[in-house]
Amino acid sequence: MPSSLQLETRPAVDLPQLDLDPYSIASLMDPYPLHEQVREAGPVVYLTPWQVYAVARYEQVKAVLSDHDTYISGAGVGLTNFNLEPPFRPRSLVLEADPPAHTPCRAVLARVLSPTVLRNLRPVFEAEAEALVDQCLELGAIDGIKALAERYPLKVFPDAVGLAAEGRENLLLYGDMVFNANGPRNELLAKSTERVGPVTEWIMRRCQRDMLAPGGFGAQIWEAADRGDITHEQAPMLVRSLLSAGVDTTINGLGNALFCLATHPEEYAKLHSDPSLARYAFDEALRYESTAQTFYRTTVRDTVLAGVPIPANCKVLMMLAAANRDPRKWPDPDRFLIERRPAGHVAFGAGIHGCVGQAIARLEGELVLSILARRVRRIELIGEPTRRLNNTLRALDALPLRLIPA
């Protein structure tokens, strides 16, 4: 047999084929055993249940995030390949777009959420955090999710966008559905699609100019269209991005941080004695319990990653939460340590699609945790936390806590 034929029929270089399902109930409840299996099987693996490539090591996740020309977002950042199946809603102009179309849209959002803007918002966000923590302290026993992790972002973020108070719980249903939609068409997606019914129309109506208070993020997006930075057709779609990505994410970031602190009293004690650790504690919680567990890319051409060939038009699953616990990158990765400096974690992604709202997310996290640290001596877990399963998000439904005042 001629050697060239042998070469052609040789299987791809060491591509482990794993019969593992990240969307099984067991894995959604506790994803970390599967993360370790994928990470240790090789730098690139193939998950047979969904027929996708997957990377779970920090180095390869970072490589895929960084090479946005090869690993594109325009074919969707979930399991569904938009080249083969249409998206369930009109594509996001930032999340599900590539340069050059992506660039001006991203720039508008980056300007609206700039450090200067956030510096001005800080006193407002701080006063809200103080009021809410005081209310929780008066109650003593609270559900940390409903009373704090949900209430805070649901107040401060839509206020900053310029959204009226009525109907904000719709944002929770919408976020739940958008993040479920990045996974397979399973029971979770079916249920949240059912619940979301009339909400989509409500959301799209809120993106219109007349619904957005002057001076808010929403109004500023429309002003960017007046300046010609984007078109007036694009403006409501970018407001939709804020409403899609700005609430459920921070809610669960905060909820997971409260969970980490309640289950690691020795770490909470450190935070209580030095509230200036709040910013690091929030980032460590994001590393340890990454809110957005996964995102996908799609190969635009044949490529090679860590010596493994990947053909064109394939979905590549980036296991962000697994990369954030890769022992090749992090000493003692399975320990929650608030004095760690977890710079470089990929809970916000990285590169041109890295979370454009990460500064506002960190502002919310830092403020809530630092005010808790000052006013609460101890956080006691007084019941079993329950999970809210979502195809993308690491989320809690309930977190029974008692707050012991300082």
Nearer to ligand OVV (CB atom), residue 112 or residue 178: 178
Q: Which of residues 245-264 bind ligand OVV (CB under 6 A)?
A: 245
CB atoms within 10 A of CB 16: 16
Nearer to ligand OVV (CB atom), residue 268 or residue 295: 295
Nearer to ligand OVV (CB atom), residue 95 or residue 396: 95
Q: Indicate the residue type of 65.
A: L
Choosing from 94, 305, 379, 393, the residue that interacts with ligand OVV (CB under 6 A) is 94
Q: Burial, 363: exposed, middle or buried (Cβ in 10 Å; 0-12, 13-18, 19+)?
A: buried
Provide, rounded to whole angstroms, the least separation between the CB of residue 310 and ligand OVV. 24
Binding flags for ligand OVV, 41-80, as an x/- string (CB under 6 A): ----------------------------------------
Applying CB under 6 A, does 324 fall inside the site for ligand OVV? no
Provide, rounded to whole angstroms, the least separation between the CB of residue 31 and ligand OVV. 18
Applying CB under 6 A, does 178 fall inside the site for ligand OVV? yes
Number of H helices, E strands in the chain: 17, 13
Applying CB under 6 A, does 95 fall inside the site for ligand OVV? yes
Q: Is 379 helix (H, G, I), strand (E, B) or coil?
A: strand
Q: Are 232 and 207 in contact (CB under 8 A)?
A: no
Q: Is 107 helix (H, G, I), strand (E, B) or coil?
A: helix
Applying CB under 6 A, does 179 fall inside the site for ligand OVV? yes
Provide, rounded to whole angstroms, the least separation between the CB of residue 76 and ligand OVV. 11
Handedness of CA 220, 223, 228, 233 (dihedral sign): positive
Q: Are 377 and 404 in contact (CB under 8 A)?
A: yes
Nearer to ligand OVV (CB atom), residue 70 or residue 244: 244
Q: Indicate the residue type of 76.
A: G
Q: Which two tokens stand for residue 1?
A: 């047999």
Q: Is 18 helix (H, G, I), strand (E, B) or coil?
A: strand
Choosing from 60, 70, 73, 92, the residue that interacts with ligand OVV (CB under 6 A) is 92
Q: Which stretch binds ligand OVV (CB under 6 A): 92-100, 124-132, 185-193, 394-402?
A: 92-100
Nearer to ligand OVV (CB atom), residue 294 or residue 299: 294
CA of residue 309 relative to chain centroid, distance = 29
Q: Which of residues 382-401 bind ligand OVV (CB under 6 A)?
A: none
Looking at the DSSP assignment, which residues form a beta bridge with residue 297? 316
Nearer to ligand OVV (CB atom), residue 42 or residue 216: 216
Quote the CA–CA distance of 29 and 26 in Å, as a whole number: 5
Q: Is 31 helix (H, G, I), strand (E, B) or coil?
A: coil
Report CA dihedral (255, 257, 263, 265) to the nearest 10 degrees.
-130
- Nearest CA to 293 among 22, 60, 17, 18? 22
Q: Which stretch binds ligand OVV (CB under 6 A): 90-98, 209-217, 223-231, 360-368?
A: 90-98
Nearer to ligand OVV (CB atom), residue 357 or residue 385: 357
Quote the CA–CA distance of 175 and 190 in Å, as a whole number: 14
Q: Which stretch binds ligand OVV (CB under 6 A): 11-19, 50-58, 241-249, 313-321?
A: 241-249
Count of residues that bind ligand OVV according to CB under 6 A: 8
Binding site for ligand OVV (CB under 6 A): 92, 94-95, 178-179, 241, 244-245
